[in-house]
């Protein structure tokens, strides 16, 4: 049932992204309104699916370890948040992308945000449903922690914000190196890259911090140069450079766009590269 809903959501994101593109090409506000509604509706459906999976995951865990008392119950609810494997992380990533796209659309009203957000969210969701194992597995002891929830949420909100900054940066570079009509206006793209990078940077930092506190309680080391930690630090360095260049040096446009693109490469390496190429606690291999 949940996977059917998510299939529909994937399709809706795709169609919404294409509608935003059409709205952009023919500057039609009716199409845009329709696309907005579709994106919002799909996001709502995905939110429902998220809670449904949470419930299913909780029910399954409840059979194995029946909670005693309300504190125990609350603990189990927090532990069973569906953010504990690769499939669930991809689904949540697509949710974050759609959510942030909608947030920025609300603020800036630029259709290309819907194109970037909708298409990326749809792509990620497609990968989740086709390429990964979606069954609910019991939680391994290392993941049984209250930090799981906040750690994963902050990390993926960060990734998604960087994804939008990447979209804006790519568009900026395409405009800068070709003779495409300058729409959306480069200064707007520049501002968007910056705003999205700030949001991403704040969330990435929070993600690293919560991860460090968790590692300290689980293994007694807040930092152990695990490949995931290292590559998240690389990502952090790149975006710190971007923010300094922009805020203090006043750089704008091309160099910032390049940093946003390279930074997202580091994000992908952190998320996927490390998990598939290198062994470690964040590995999705088994």
Partner 1 sequence: MTQAPSSASPLGRLWKTLTSLRLTLVLLILLALVSLIGTVRVQVFDSLWFLVPLGIFVLNLTACLIRGLPRAVRRSRHRLTAAAALELPERARFSWPHNPNPQSQVEKALKRELGAVHQTASEDRIVYFWERGRFRPLGPYVVHLALLVILAGALLGKFLGVQGQLTLREGEGSSDFISEGKEKPLDFQARLDKFQVFYYPNGTPREFRSDLTLTKPGKPPVQAVCRVNDPVTFGGFTFYQSSYGHVVRFEVNEGENSHVVEAPVGRTMEIPGGRARFRVLEYQPDLVMPGGGQEKRLGPAARLAYWEGRGHPLIIVVLKNRPELADRQPGPHRFFLKGSNFFSVLQVKRDPGVWWVYAGFLLLLPGFYLAFLRPAERWALVLRRNQQGTWQGRLLGAAPRAREAFQERLERLQEILQKGGTA
Chain positions contacting partner 1, by CB under 8 A: 63-65, 137-138, 140-142, 144-145, 191, 198, 202, 205, 209, 212-213, 216-223, 225, 227, 230-231, 233-234, 237-238, 240-241, 244-245, 248-249, 266, 274, 278
Q: In the complex with partner 1, which residue's Cβ is closer, 137 or 182?
A: 137
In this complex, which beta carbon is closest to partner 1, that of residue 17 or of residue 184?
Answer: 184
CA angle 229, 231, 235 (to 5 degrees): 115
Nearer to partner 1, 95 or 203 (CB): 203
C-alpha 181/C-alpha 191 separation (Å) is: 19
> In the Cβ-directed half-sphere of 107, how many Cα atoms lie within 13 Å?
11
For residue 197, the minimal CB distance to partner 1 (Å) is 11
Q: Smallest distance from the beta carbon of 227 to partner 1, in angstroms?
A: 5
Residues near 264 by beta carbon (within 8 Å), at least 6 away in sequence: 162, 163, 165, 166, 169
Beta carbon nearer to partner 1, 50 or 201: 201
Q: How far is the CB of 144 from partner 1 (least distance, A)?
A: 6
**Cα–Cα distance list, 263 to 102, 153, 166, 238 (Å):** 22, 20, 8, 6
Nearer to partner 1, 40 or 273 (CB): 273
Could you tell me the smallest distance in angstroms from the CB atom of residue 66 to partner 1? 13
Q: Cis check for the bond before 184: say yes or no (omega within 30 of 0).
A: yes
What is the nearest approach in angstroms of partner 1 to the Cβ of residue 16? 25
If one counts every other C-beta atom within 10 angstroms of the C-beta of residue 154, the result is 20
Shortest CB 147 distance to partner 1, Å = 8
H helices within the chain, ranges in order? Answer: 2-25, 29-64, 69-79, 86-108, 111-131, 147-177, 186-219, 227-247, 254-268, 274-277
- For 122-149, letters b (16+ CB in 10 Å) and e give bbbbbbbbeeeebebeebeeebbbebbb
And the tokens for 86? 């690769």
Report in angstroms how near the CB of residue 169 gets to partner 1 at its nearest: 17
Which one, 111 or 231, has the nearer CB to partner 1? 231
Backbone angles phi, psi at 26, to 5 degrees: -105, 15
Is the CB of 69 or the CB of 220 nearer to partner 1? 220
Q: How far is CA 150 from the centre of its chain?
A: 14
């Amino acid at each position: 049932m949940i996977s059917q809903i998510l299939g529909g959501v994937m399709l809706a994101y795709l169609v919404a992204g294409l509608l935003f593109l059409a709205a952009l090409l023919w500057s039609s506000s009716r199409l845009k309104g329709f696309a907005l509604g579709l994106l919002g509706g799909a996001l709502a459906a995905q939110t429902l699916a998220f809670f449904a999976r949470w419930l299913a995951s909780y029910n399954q865990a409840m059979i194995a370890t029946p909670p005693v008392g309300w504190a125990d119950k609350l603990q189990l609810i927090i532990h069973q948040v569906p953010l504990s494997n690769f499939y669930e992380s991809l689904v949540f990533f697509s949710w974050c992308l759609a959510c942030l796209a909608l947030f920025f659309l609300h603020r800036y009203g630029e259709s290309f945000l819907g194109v970037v957000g909708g298409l990326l969210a749809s792509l990620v969701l497609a990968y989740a449903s086709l390429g990964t194992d979606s069954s609910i597995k019991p939680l391994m002891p290392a993941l049984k922690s209250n930090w799981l929830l906040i750690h994963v949420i902050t990390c993926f909100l960060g990734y998604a914000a960087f994804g939008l900054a990447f979209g804006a940066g790519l568009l900026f570079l395409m405009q800068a190196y070709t003779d495409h009509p300058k729409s959306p206006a480069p200064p707007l793209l520049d501002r968007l890259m910056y705003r999205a990078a700030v949001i991403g940077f704040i969330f990435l930092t929070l993600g690293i911090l919560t991860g460090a506190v968790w590692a300290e309680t689980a293994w007694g080391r807040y930092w152990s140069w695990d490949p995931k930690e290292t590559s998240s630090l690389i990502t952090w360095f790149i975006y710190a450079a971007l923010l300094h260049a922009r805020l203090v040096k006043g750089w704008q446009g091309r160099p910032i766009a390049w940093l946003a693109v390279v930074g997202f490469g580091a994000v992908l390496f952190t998320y996927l590269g490390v998990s598939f190429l290198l062994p470690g606690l964040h590995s999705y291999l088994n």
